[in-house]
Structure 1
């Protein structure tokens, strides 16, 4: 069976060697780098089994990118504490949205209007959420997100493409990326926020697509990994206006 490998990081910004990968199913770690070839050095190694190849890696590679204690208890917060993160961040908040539907959208009046084919007046929205986004934007903070869209888009994704007009009006930068491109880039199928490039809020959903919890991740190597996902998504995504126009042309 082909391993589900995740690239953790590299000690080289040039050729990607040496590097560390992690098997997402077994937890095993794969390290690759230049082989140790001097016979005298190899002769001094203990317990080198047949077929094993010793490699040389800098200590920093394992310190920076080696998986940490997987038995450590996750820090889970409730949704009220999660909401408070949006007033406490200092500089940036960014989200990756990967799901095909969100149950919370479907109970709103705007969703009902949209599915009935009625125009939604997003300018008329003055919720606490909108007020918070405007307040943070007024303080010079930046909020953005990339939304993954299927081909063809789901009903929920089409709603969010329309909803992006509201997000943009209150100061968010909304971009979109096709699912096929996200898969090509090996982006994870996770929804998460990154706050100030130092903390990740990993969103947990139940089988009915309800947000039920949030796990906070502050381990530096993990935060960097999610930041790499953000950078890749931002590089390949396009503004929602351009993405929506492309869908209209395709139709």
Structure 2
């Protein structure tokens, strides 16, 4: 078990968590490792995706895209790597179609690190986190079903250094989402 997986930080309020996204100066990085997230604001869109229907508009997704474009204009960078297990879960397929495609168009550098079922990339923890400006580490916690628990801010320097190493390793091992998506149809099903 790594230091960041075994230790915890202090809980972060929703207001404080939101400030990280507005106040970061240079970089915001996200490591995603779950194959399903249970986010209530996505439920209707996910249901429509599974039914093969138009996903419809999303004010939350539109606001996120606007924020991404603004930050890119200011010279700030958003990036993420999602470790995805193949074959893709329905949720990951949905996330790619509903969120990743428009977020990439808005300027986010989204990358995919694919692995086969039962495997995991060497040197990458099965841990979700945000890393702002390489020194603010916010661990993302979830229930076994994928519902978000309060995030936790970590101030331990060893854990922060480890998160930077994991970020660099994940970025190096992954491929751009646009390249990854070429292997699939419009609904992210294997061709």
**Which band: TM-score by shorter chain?**
0.7 to 0.9
Report SS of the residue matched to 1:211. Answer: coil
Q: Secondary structure at the match of 1:246?
A: coil
Unaligned runs of 5+ in 2: none
On the 8 A contact 1:142/1:172 being kept in 2, the answer is: yes
Matched ranges for 1:127-138 at <5 A: 127-138=62-73
Per-residue CA distance 1:163-189 (angstroms, 9 max, x = gap): 211111222111101134972323111
Q: Which residue of 2 aligns with 1:36?
A: none
- Cα offset for 1:107? 3.6
Matched with 2:134 is 197
Equivalences, count: 186
- Please say if residues 133 and 171 of structure 1, whose CA atoms lie closer than 8 Å, have aligned partners that are also in contact: yes
Distance 1:239-1:121 versus aligned 2 partners, 3 A rule: farther
Please identify runs of 4+ aligned residues in structure 1 that moved more than 6 A.
121-126
Aligned to 2:123: 186
Aligned residue in 2 for 1:206: 143
* Matched-pair contact (CA < 8 Å) for 1:97–1:191: yes
Of structures 1 and 2, the one with the larger relative CO (CA 8 A, separation 6+) is 2
Q: Are 2:20 and 1:85 equivalent residues in the alignment? A: yes
TM-score, with structure 1 as normaliser = 0.65
**Cα displacement (A) at 1:247:** 3.9
Task: Indicate if the aligned counterparts of 2:87 and 2:116 stay in contact, CA closer than 8 A.
Answer: no
CA distance change for structure 1 residues 135 and 250 in 2, over 3 Å: closer, same or farther?
closer
Matched, 1:146 2:101: no
> In structure 2, what is the Cα distance between the partners aligned to 1:105 and 1:233?
28
Aligned pairs (5 A) from 1:164-243: 164-180=100-116, 183-243=120-180
Show the counterpart of 1:98: 33
Q: CA distance change for structure 1 residues 122 and 246 in 2, over 3 Å: closer, same or farther?
A: farther
TM-score (norm 2): 0.83
Q: Secondary structure at the match of 2:30?
A: strand
Structure number with larger C-alpha Rg: 1
Shift of 1:228: 0.6
Structure-to-structure mapping, 1:58-77, within 5 angstroms: 74-77=9-12
For 1:208 and 1:149, locate their aligned partners in 2 and report how far apart those are by CA, in whole Å. 17
1:60 is aligned to none
